[in-house]
Amino acid sequence: MGVGCLRILEIGTGCGNNLKYYPKNTRLIALEPNENMWKHFHNKLRQYPYIILENAITGSAEDMSIIDDNTIDVIVSTHVLCSVCDIKKCLKEIKRVLSPNGRFIYVEHVAYESGTLLYRFQSWIEYLWKLFNDDCRLTLQTSRLIRETNFTSINEQSVVVKDLFITLIRPHIFGIAYK
Ligand SMILES: C[S@@+](CC[C@H](N)C(=O)[O-])C[C@H]1O[C@@H](n2cnc3c(N)ncnc32)[C@H](O)[C@@H]1O
């Protein structure tokens, strides 16, 4: 890594909606399984000439063997863990590639509190929802799975985002997990 550079890995980059948040000293590794997204991503990236794209990897976050251990300063995931097939494997990979003191920053929609009517609603509809939304799951206990990954510390907030149109994906977690 160059002096003063921040090496950021974004998993599930999609069409690059998060590029606007990255600082000027960013060296970005973008990882995305859906090849169709790259055209949109590269178009958007042109608006941010100060971001150095170190690598654009077509692949899944469950297997990031192309990336060495302890080499990434920050990993970003927004609305991705819900679609990852093996979330435990993915979180293990995230922890492996993060450098000591590296941060995993995440924004994810999650399950309503279990036992509530809204949780039951999510469970009922989940099968259909997955079919039409790229295998996205509604009832994942993402927060618990992140805690079970043994990060050194986690700073997380749970928020029900009231102004989201779709009730099913209103419960969110926003967090930073430190390796
Ligand atoms: C809802 S989109 C979010 C895109 C972007 N992160 C954003 O916030 O705009 C979910 C993205 O996760 C990607 N994805 C699905 N499974 C994945 C996996 N196993 N590893 C990495 N990315 C994955 C999808 O291809 C898609 O681009």
Q: What is the pLDDT of residues 21-69, one digit of tens each?
A: 999 999 999 999 999 999 999 999 999 999 999 999 999 999 999 999 9
Predicted pLDDT of residue 164: 77
Distance CA 18, CA 75 (A): 12
Ligand 1 center to 85 CA (angstroms): 11
Predicted pLDDT of residue 162: 87
Into how many domains does the chain fold?
A: 1
Per the domain annotation, does 20 fall within a domain? yes
- Residue of minimum CA distance from atom 9 in ligand 1: 17
Ligand 1 center to 24 CA (angstroms): 24
Predicted pLDDT of residue 3: 59
Ligand 1 center to 37 CA (angstroms): 10
Per the domain annotation, does 69 fall within a domain? yes
Q: Please, which pLDDT band fits residue 19 given cuts at 50, 70 and 90?
A: very high
Q: Please, which pLDDT band fits residue 153 given cuts at 50, 70 and 90?
A: very high
Distance CA 50, CA 23 (A): 8
- Tell which wins on pLDDT, 32 or 134: 32
For ligand 1, mutation pick of 11, 28, 83, 108 (most atoms within 8 Å of CB): 83
Per the domain annotation, does 114 fall within a domain? yes
Ligand 1 center to 64 CA (angstroms): 15
Q: What share of the chain is helix, strand, coil (3-state, %, to 5)?
A: 25, 30, 45
Per the domain annotation, does 1 fall within a domain? no
Predicted pLDDT of residue 103: 98
- Residue of minimum CA distance from atom 22 in ligand 1: 12
**Domain that includes residue 152, residue range:** 6-178
Q: Please, which pLDDT band fits residue 148 given cuts at 50, 70 and 90?
A: very high
Ligand 1 center to 79 CA (angstroms): 7
pLDDT average, residue stretch 158-174:
90
> The domain spanning residue 105 has which CATH number?
3.40.50.150
Residue 138 has pLDDT above 60, yes or no: yes
Per the domain annotation, does 32 fall within a domain? yes
Per the domain annotation, does 77 fall within a domain? yes
pTM for the whole thing?
0.95
Closest among 91, 68, 80, 70 to 177, alpha carbons compared: 91
